[in-house]
Amino acid sequence: MTMAGSNLRAFVNTPATKIGTFLFEFATPGIGHILKAAGADYAVLDMEHTGFSFDTVRQVVRYCQAAELPLIVRVPSQQRHHISRALDTGADGIMVPIVSSVEQAKAVLDAAKYWPDGTRGVALGLAHERFAVRSEGLLPRFAEQNARTAIILQVEDPRGAAAADEIAALPGVDMLWLGHNDLSVALNKPGAFDDAAFVQAEAATIAAAKKHRKSVGRLAVDAKQAAQFVKLGYDFVSIAGDVWLLQQAFAAGVETVRRGV
């Protein structure tokens, strides 16, 4: 059963399990409806590792809005213009990589929030307001956008895990997302997800989110692993990404046909 409505922040910080996937390749017009029909609660459009431009982001935001599927944009960096431009496209949330300190988290919030919570540049009546003609003054519209957009910070190194409690405590931070591969590399043990240091960093991240009533998320290689992550305490899980889902399904189909023949 999918979450009700299309407001991402309406189900951030709730105990229900939210299931989505990453978009690394298929920025197609039907993608929002395809995922929504399959039962997705959200999608993450990745700019960090894909080369997707903001023109692509603008299009996929519209596709997902049409399907009433919340869309998170993972921006390629912590640079202010990446954060604010992704939000100006109308994204329901942003995911920001390698946030390792309270200072970095505060800088993200400052770029993402309008006055008085931040210093995001003002441009209203555009995509993030669905191009609506509005007669209200600036303040209620600032408040509306500040309340609408979700801020998701990635824990991807030991410094981030050590600071997770302080980061999660910040007003405006909605979710911590464990970047498992980068975290394992930063611990000098690539792929060693059962290593004691990795397990400790992961546990600290989950505990910090729960302590401050924030969400916590992680990407899984498949549905079975995603279910295991839910048991660990994650309330947002991503079942792989579009590329791998297609490959897994097709490979399983090929195997079934060959066995039948």
In a domain, 10, yes or no: no
Q: What is the pLDDT of residue 146?
A: 96
Question: Could you tell me the residue range of the domain that residue 170 belongs to?
Answer: 16-260
In a domain, 2, yes or no: no
In a domain, 7, yes or no: no
Mean pLDDT of the region 215-235: 98
Question: Is the distance from CB of 26 to CB of 5 less than 8 angstroms?
Answer: no
In a domain, 6, yes or no: no
> How many domains are there within the chain?
1
Q: What is the pLDDT of residue 7?
A: 85
- Residue 237, pLDDT > 50, answer yes
Q: What is the pLDDT of residue 4?
A: 45
In a domain, 8, yes or no: no
Q: What is the pLDDT of residue 1?
A: 44
Reported as a single tens digit per residue, the pLDDT across 200-224 is: 999 999 999 999 999 999 999 999 9
Reported as a single tens digit per residue, the pLDDT across 75-126 is: 999 999 999 999 999 999 999 999 999 999 999 999 999 999 999 999 999 9
In a domain, 151, yes or no: yes
pTM higher than the cut 0.85: yes
Question: Is the distance from CB of 91 to CB of 73 less than 8 angstroms?
Answer: yes
- Residue 261, pLDDT > 80, answer yes
Reported as a single tens digit per residue, the pLDDT across 128-162 is: 999 998 889 999 999 999 999 999 999 999 999 99
Q: Which domain CATH number covers 162?
A: 3.20.20.60
In a domain, 249, yes or no: yes
Q: What is the pLDDT of residue 3?
A: 53
Question: Is the distance from CB of 198 to CB of 192 less than 8 angstroms?
Answer: yes
Reported as a single tens digit per residue, the pLDDT across 2-28 is: 554 568 999 998 999 999 999 999 999
Q: What is the pLDDT of residue 13?
A: 86
